Structure 1
């Protein structure tokens, strides 16, 4: 579990620098240049992800149950994660209504995804992982929305064709992950 916590600290720490230490971040970019900053940021983020994945895998071998999810919660989680995948897809397609309404659909989708997984997982390592990612996404979401307001960012008007692209691509990605990749990568088949 220690490796999981260290990985979360590295990954979330790197992704909150702009929120909690913006002047320091700007000073480092000025000092070393943007390419060096991005390289270090990317390498540390990847290291954090590797530690998270390995730490979660190790913790799953000796799970510590905290609570037992109620019957049917996997179906609620499936529905919420499908919506989360659509929100995440909205971040990748410019000119859709969801992006205009949410402003930060990627972070909103990550927050919903993490919350949904908290509903269906009652082990200590799952609670640590998904709680940390939920808190990070909510903090970052609030900070990014504030930054957008201060900068006067206005997102493009949505178009129905792009909305359709967002929904279809999000649901296809969700189905591939829920019915196949989740089992291959995580070792759990949430929908049988």
Structure 2
């Protein structure tokens, strides 16, 4: 009888020990699972915040770029007229008045060899009569670009460069330009005069950096 009682006690002790071990194992599993979930949430939150920080930093430092023509490189080849996806071209002549000499005989307005300095169509260099000549006072005249008529051929620019101060210059007008990913004019420009510039300072002028359009 004594031996049987002792065996029963021993079996009970073994069961208690096994129960305690199982309970500890389950507790460890629960703790491990909880730790894993917490760590995962912390990592996920860290990645999200890090990505947001990078996005905000890039957004703050980046700026929209637009196409522009560098007059220092431009050779007035005429391809701005034929290669732009828009008709007429988004490239227009811009008059930098601060550089202009207000010449009576304007090389950008009159054809070479013109004998009479009148506004008759046969005397005008511009094929679309996009330049308006106005008398200021003797011997000065003012020349205004009629942008709606300008096709961006650059003939007036070449004439002004050759015989004047170079105040007539070609520029991409961003109120017209659709800012193609790949500009057809830039792709075909033999002088490589087109490039991307920040939208906030979208003009490039030869000899007069302070001028804006």
- Shorter-chain TM-score: what band? under 0.3
Report which of the two has the higher share of strand.
2
How does the TM-score come out when normalised to structure 2? 0.19
Higher RCO (Cα < 8 Å, 6 or more apart): 2
Report which of the two has the higher share of helix.
1
